[in-house]
Structure 1
Amino acid sequence: MDWNKEIQGLETDFSSYMESGIYIHDGMKLLFSKNKEELFPSASIIKLPIYLYYYEQAIQGRLNLMDRVNVSNKGRANGSGVMHVLTSIEDWSVEELLQLMIAVSDNEATNQLISYVGLENLQAWIKEKTWNEEIALRRYLMDYESGLVNEVTPQGAVSVLKEIMELGSNHPLWEKQIEKPFLLQQFRTGLPGYLDEREIPILEMLNKTGEDNEIRHDVALFRYNNQIVYIAALNKNVKEEAKAIEWMQELGKLAFKFLTNAV
């Protein structure tokens, strides 16, 4: 499949509606990129390195995911998620917070996880990674008053998701637990939007979205018949949300076309 030709057609139709970055990788080699090293405001894509940190530490025996965290029912971060609604529940396990952070993109769960190990510790851990210049975790979620912005590049988004998946495949006893919230992801309107796993049972789509004012992101792993493809689709200065979503869905269709042609 000629990715350059296919995506050029999308550029003609959608480039006037947003500024975008793309990174597409088949697990072994780069298939296509656009603005792959440009930093975009990350929105909820920043939750991916936090998730990786926790499972990496847990597998190394440095952290117990069954530990309990007491969360005050006052002052919880709003936006996406459910914890700011379920205020009667104040006792949560670390694992529950991790699952909520990915499956429903819970902002309060994310902030609790940052606080539990410390923002500075997470920042220091990121600095040790090969993708350290691709991701910047500077603040808690919804902390707009700080004036700081969390950022990620298209290449960085794929690198972190790929490392999460490889962590699971390298530690089979952990694999299902690590992949669970991605497979049960509640936000499927982006890259997976035109596809339905119920109609294509051997297709698996594991994704994480990121949304904020004039920002619409999605990064995903598509698996089909032992073939894989990773895609990061990042947008900023979005003029029409519907167009950004449609653009991501078209990229998802191209991913499936690539996988079916590769079989």
Structure 2
Amino acid sequence: MKELSESIEKIIKQAGGTWGISIEDLNTNDSWNWNENEPFYAASIIKVPIMVAVFHAFENESLSLDKKLILKKEDIVGGCGVLQHLTPGMELSIYDLTTLMIIQSDNTATNMLIEQLGKPTIQNTMRKTGLSTSTFYHKLMTVPVNREGINTVTAFELTSLLKKISEGKVISVHACEQMIAILKQQQIRNGLPGKLPPQDTRFIGENNPWEFAHKTGSVTHIRHEIGIFYVGKRMMIASVLSKDLEDDHSLQVFSDIGLEIYHFLNN
């Protein structure tokens, strides 16, 4: 872990900006942290706690994953996601909206889920799962001028949450399995996995050389990514939060960090 932490520290010092990082080797329980308790504006990383709240409501039988919601014109917001380009009136299940929220970071899907769950439910679920410093106050792309607060996260709490999910200790083992499966379908892959080798396999059914169950989040001069690396039999959680960097530059830095983690686990 010392070699990896020194490599990452060198990368972020050369990059500039402000960083909050928390990584943990799930095979050895070794960890390394950098400004891990500093709150960052959450951007789309808040969608992971929202996903947890969806499955918590399902386990409590207060919400069915099969329940259909109708896409209405007033639901549609900009930013990431495909729903903003589709025709109002279509029906989508809670499960499909959750999947779109994670793998495409769909803001419209996210806001529909927030409306369905309610802000207090999401806040209570965050507290129950150990996100005591992180906060949730508003929908995406519709932040009011006179807002109560902003959505924030810390690297340490996110790594702790992902560790609980990886161990099946959030809600239920079944819920954790479903959440990991969704995170592994992530389609935005230009950050931490940006420089990793292709996942192409030669034979049908052959295991991928690596997998990454993750979620991204970015707005101008802010970029975050959290997830679980699976390389062979090695596993590592990485929560990397950043601000005050140019967007193109931060992408390169994230890719460099991801490659260092991959080499560490592969060796």
Fold-level similarity (TM above 0.5)? yes
Q: Which sits farther off after the overlay, 116-125 or 92-101?
A: 116-125
Structure 2 matches for 1:59-74, cutoff 5 A? 59-74=59-74
**CA offsets, 1:98-157, max 9 Å, x none?**
000001001111111111011122112323332321x10011111233443210011122
Identity %: 28
Q: Aligned equivalents of 2:265 and 2:12: distance in 1?
A: 22
How many positions carry a matched residue from both structures? 257
Does residue 256 (structure 1) correspond to residue 262 (structure 2)? The answer is yes
C-alpha contact (below 8 Å) 2:20/2:155 kept by paired residues: yes
Cα pair 1:227 1:259 within 8 Å, conserved: yes
Query: How far is 1:70 from its partner?
Result: 1.9
Q: Distance in 2 between matches of 1:201 and 1:125?
A: 34
CA distance in 1, matches of 2:174, 2:227: 23
Unaligned regions of 5+ residues in structure 2, if any? Answer: 202-206
| Equivalent position SS for 2:85 | coil
What SS does the corresponding residue of 2:226 show, helix, strand or coil? Answer: strand
The aligned residue for residue 242 of structure 2 is 235
What TM-score does the superposition give when structure 1 sets the normalisation length? 0.89
Equivalent position amino acid for 1:143 in 2 = T
Contact 1:69-1:91 within 8 A present in 2 as well: yes
Matched, 1:198 2:221: no
Report the Cα offset of residue 184 of structure 1. Answer: 1.8
Alpha-carbon displacement from aligned partner over 1:182-231 (angstroms, at most 9, x marks no partner): 22211101111111322682311111000112111111210122210011
- Residue aligned with 1:210, SS: strand
Report deviation, 1:34. Answer: 0.6
When the two chains are superposed, the root-mean-square deviation of aligned CA atoms in Å is 2.3
Contact 2:220–2:247, Cα closer than 8 Å, also in 1 = no
Cα distance between partner residues in 1 of 2:214 and 2:170: 17
Cα shift at 1:60: 4.2
Shift of residue 9 of structure 1? Answer: 2.2
Q: 3-state SS of the aligned residue for 2:140? A: coil
Q: Which residue of structure 1 aligns with residue 251 of structure 2?
A: 245
Aligned match of 2:220: 213
Contact in 2 for aligned 1:48/1:160 (Cα 8 Å) = no
Over 3 Å counting, the alpha-carbon distance change for 1:243 and 1:98 in structure 2 is: same
Paired AA for residue 156 in structure 1 = E
Using structure 2 for the length normalisation, give the TM-score.
0.87
1:183–1:4 CA distance, 2 compared to 1 (3 A): closer
